[in-house]
Amino acid sequence: MSQQLPRLHTVLYKSCGQLSKLYFKRYLFEQLSCMTAEQHSYYNRVQFYFLCKNKQKKNMQLASVQVQIMSTICPEKIIVDLLLLTSDSNYAEGEVDENEWRDDVQLHKEEKTVLRYYVFEGMRYIWMPRKGAFCRVSILSEGWTYADLHRFQQGMSQAEQSSRFIFGDNIIDVPVKSYPQLLFEEVLNPFYMFQVFSIILWMSERYYYYAVCILIISFLSIAVSLYEIRKQSTTLRRMAQLIVNVTVRRATGEEECVSSVDLVPGDCVVIPSEGLLLPCDAALLAGECMVNESMLTGESVPVMKTPLPFSGGAYTPESQRRHTLFCGTHIIQKCAVIRSFLWLPFTMCMHFWFFTAKGDLVSSILYPQPLNFRFYKDAMKFLLFLGVLALIGTIYSVVMLYKSNTPWAELVIRSLDIVTIVVPPALPAAITTGTIYAQNRLKKKGVFCISPPRINISGKISLFCFDKTGTLTEEGLDVWGVKVVNGSGFDELVPDPRLLPDGPMLSGLASCHSVALLEGQPIGDPLELKMIESTGWVWATFGTHRILAVMRPLAAEFQPEGIPVAIVRRFPFSSTLQRMSVVTVGPGGGSACCFLKGSPEMVASYCVKESVPSQFTNTLREFASEGFRVLALAYRELDAQTDLSSLEREDIETEMRFLGLLVMKNQVKPESPGVISTLRQAQIRPVMVTGDNILTALNVAHACRMVLPHEQVFFVHASPPTVNSMASLRFHQGEGGTGTGLYQNSLKYHLAINGKSFAVLCDHFPEYLPKILMRGTVYARMSPDQKTQLVKALQNLNYRVGMCGDGANDCGALRAADVGVSLSEAEASVASPFTSKTDNISCVPLLIREGRCSLVTSFSLFKYMALYSLIQFSSVVILYTVKTNLADLQFLFCDLFLVTLLAIVMGRGGPSDELHPQRPPASLLSVPLLCALLIHTLLLIVTQVSVLLITISQEWYIPLNSTRTGPQNLPNMEDTGVFDVSGFQYILMSIIVTKGYPYKKPLYYNGAILKEHLGKMLQSKFKYIQGNKGF
């Protein structure tokens, strides 16, 4: 707050008796409304005097309240922000209920202004008295309209900026903890706490070798873990923390260079000509920008951003992505009509910056959402079961040791030792081994993962959704021809647009686009690049003072009238609107026209009916059924007196004249049919979700074998209610066919539905939605929000849903899916947990195979660690029965050199080369698995007991001398027999529980585990032959 603003405006007092909420509030606003605009801009505070009742003296006395005025929105709006009492210590609030006054004014003795807030996961929450709750700080600026934002082009004063201190610094400050802090938090982990308990216990038993080894291993593990955590935090902080100098326009008209840390919502930032790495989320108010958003969306093609319209409703970044520049994206080029300005929108530029799109990415890494996966829940339940088993073993040990007259101290220690045996400390680390190997294999093949636990989830995928353009089909399209309107019909297809006569159709093809020039090279949507290339027109000028671009044909001796064409306004394509438009002028600024391009149905709805040919529907159906991508163009001449700079989209996109159709061929990628067939054979249902025409999508579904030739397709048509009719739902075999009822599940068929019918279905026929979703294969004309809605609806039907797309319009669906795969050149994207650098869907079966391999490996390692603990548990309990126990080196050999190394090499097995129809189980508590575990355990115990009995029955058996300990208590044949057979059991169990076909390659492909098995068996045999002298 600057020094010139704290000026006080005094208002005459008014007697009010007992103070009430409604009266006082009405009185304040009556007085504030009487102030003039000059007073609003001059005064910072208003002093109100009034009379209220003194509780002690029971009489009326004078009190005063100061009201802070904030008029940063506009001079007509005043926000009563802070209420300060400046009365005597005896003055009180009067005899009123607390609920009446606490939200508006508090007349306490020596009251101070206190801002109450807290920060959770990087986001600031402030106390809102009128709501009676803590709310995100972004709520302070909700409800801004387009017009409100455009007022900020004039800039804010420093005083207005400083009044917004409540938003905090504009920086994502990822905490990087010191090593002592990390060590303290790591040691408090239950896993390490249990290890500390075990080491202390083993030390007390003089198991020094094993205790020291575990201590060293734990120390190295903690050291590596701390190093990796700090390294990742440092890397993430470097990626997240963006501090640049930006130019901010002030209310005085001057421009000031400030740090991006000091930006607040409402600042007007000037984009430099060399571009900018954007430090905040912002709304573009003037000019155009070409932005690289690959880090956020995975889309490698730069996106053209256009200025926010002057008229419109409430602004939100998600609904106005084409007018919003997101934090962390790179503005690689700007072309300004006047100058390019940004407004920092209310949902962004907050403390820690986690309200921005980039902050969302960082937040998803720092605070990942908990995974609802049964495997991890069952693992915790099984650990509880082992804990119960340890309790039983402890009770048995206490009884046996008590009968042996064991001293109480030793009895307690040796009984607790059972707990460390039954519940292996290395179990949590062991089950993640398969995931680590799978992540490394995926990375080598160009698939990057930012959420490793989802690798296991990918092994349970039962349905996979695919975007069409750029995912199943090639990104680029080839122009097949142009159908131009001639009177009430279409002319013959013109295969080469260069052969078109000079006129609106040719000018529209050359100018209705969002392509820009970057260092002399055109960049933009591949479809538009192909369209411009087919016309033979080139850029004469790009990004001048008032002209966005000038398009003209290649140099020729004669240039027809009206050529070249200058683009002066552009309203970009939106998936929701399904259209784009431009405003052009001819040479000298005359003959202004508006061109409209988009989906044929949408363009036709904005045209004069007389201009749309009567065979429009049949022609469109013919092209779409053959798999062509069809766009329509329309135009409208504008009045020469029209102020083109003030035109809005709604003003020009009306009463258009239909020009014709642009027909393009979108080839299916050669990998798509094979991948779809593989998924279908593996009983994984493929689904297409696209924004294209339903017939075009169906043609592609046939081409990529999503729908086979002998399978029927029914179209779902849902109509909303009207004044004269109710909502209807019909099913047609073929577009425009005869309506039928809902078919039974016994028939083999597919359903196809468009976005409009899907919306009506969700709103008016929710009872039919599950049935249609279970048969739906083609979802066409779907908006980005509808794609997300579809994924969530499928998940509600207990499908494990995967989603593969290019990341541009599929961000919501990719993030909502259980497994989202973005096809992008970026290594990490906020769009999805998986990013593939390959430009086709061949990564999908690879990911599923790796997921199944990882999941099965986790199962195998879990069962192996459980059986290992049960083997050692039974060995110790049996030896306790005969009043002996395993030696330190025996424990060390089994735990470290045998089990640990076997567990490491077990996880190295790679995935199978094929996808099997049967999916791996996800539950550790299934009846077959528990029965198998029980049978294995009983066989292991019987084997050890049998070996002990056989050993005792031999003629050469020498009984244990239980009166002596240490080396004098040799030979210990009971120990030797049980130990040797348990060693072979460890090795055999690692082979038995290692599941191969059909999810992993056979065991003989894993060379490391074969060498380990052979070495350990030879080592165990050698120790047996040597009479176990080392133990």
How do residues 973-1008 score in pLDDT, each as one tens digit?
Answer: 888 888 889 888 888 888 888 877 788 887 766 655
Residues 6+ apart with CB under 8 A from 854: 434, 435, 437, 438, 455, 456, 459
Top mean-pLDDT range of 211-215, 238-242, 343-347, 950-954: 950-954
Mean pLDDT throughout 18-33? 48
For Cα atoms 273, 275, 279, give the angle at the middle one, nearest 5 degrees.
130
How do residues 309-358 score in pLDDT, each as one tens digit?
Answer: 877 777 877 777 788 888 878 887 766 543 344 444 333 343 345 677 67
Enter the pTM of the model. Answer: 0.67
Ranges of each domain in the chain:
8-114, 186-240, 374-446+849-955+963-1025, 462-473+669-817, 478-516+555-665
> Helices (H) and strands (E) in the chain — how many of each?
32, 39
**pLDDT confidence of 633, banded at 50, 70, 90?**
very high
How do residues 759-795 score in pLDDT, each as one tens digit?
Answer: 999 999 999 999 999 999 999 988 888 898 999 999 9
How do residues 716-768 score in pLDDT, each as one tens digit?
Answer: 999 888 878 888 888 887 655 445 555 455 467 899 999 889 999 999 999 99
Residues 6+ apart with CB under 8 A from 585: 565, 566, 568, 591, 592, 593, 644
How far is residue 961's CA from residue 939's CA, in Å, rounded to a whole number? 29
**pLDDT confidence of 16, banded at 50, 70, 90?**
very low
Mean pLDDT throughout 880-900? 81
pLDDT at 365: 66
Classify 540 as helix, strand or coil.
Answer: strand
Mean pLDDT throughout 28-38? 51
pLDDT at 827: 53
Residue 464 has pLDDT above 90, yes or no: yes
901, 430 in Cβ contact below 8 A?
no
- Residue 155 β-bridge partners: none
User: Does residue 467 have an active-site annotation?
Assistant: yes
CATH of region 478-516+555-665, choose from 1.10.1740.10, 3.40.50.720, 3.40.50.300, 3.40.1110.10: 3.40.1110.10
**pLDDT confidence of 1009, banded at 50, 70, 90?**
low
Residue 550 has pLDDT above 70, yes or no: yes
For Cα atoms 366, 369, 370, give the angle at the middle one, nearest 5 degrees.
120
- Domain 374-446+849-955+963-1025, CATH 1.20.1110.10 — does that match? yes
Classify 773 as helix, strand or coil.
Answer: helix
Rg over CA atoms, the chain: 37
pLDDT at 39: 47
- The sign one gets for the Cα dihedral 469, 473, 478, 483 is negative
Average pLDDT, the chain: 75
Separation of CA 1029 from chain center: 59
pLDDT at 558: 46
631 versus 122: the higher-pLDDT residue is 631
- Reference 659, options 479, 481, 490, 492; nearest CA is 490
442, 847 in Cβ contact below 8 A?
yes
How far is residue 506's CA from residue 632's CA, in Å, rounded to a whole number? 13
Percent of the chain clearing pLDDT 70 (strictly above): 74
CATH of region 462-473+669-817, choose from 3.90.730.10, 3.20.20.140, 3.40.50.1000, 3.40.50.1010: 3.40.50.1000
363 versus 198: the higher-pLDDT residue is 198
pLDDT at 99: 41
How do residues 636-658 score in pLDDT, each as one tens digit?
Answer: 988 877 777 777 888 888 889 99
Residue 83 has pLDDT above 60, yes or no: no
How far is residue 24's CA from residue 18's CA, in Å, rounded to a whole number? 10
- Residue 7, number of CB atoms within 10 A of its CB: 10
Of the candidates 169, 267, 417, 467, the residue annotated as catalytic is 467
**pLDDT confidence of 1010, banded at 50, 70, 90?**
low
583 versus 927: the higher-pLDDT residue is 583
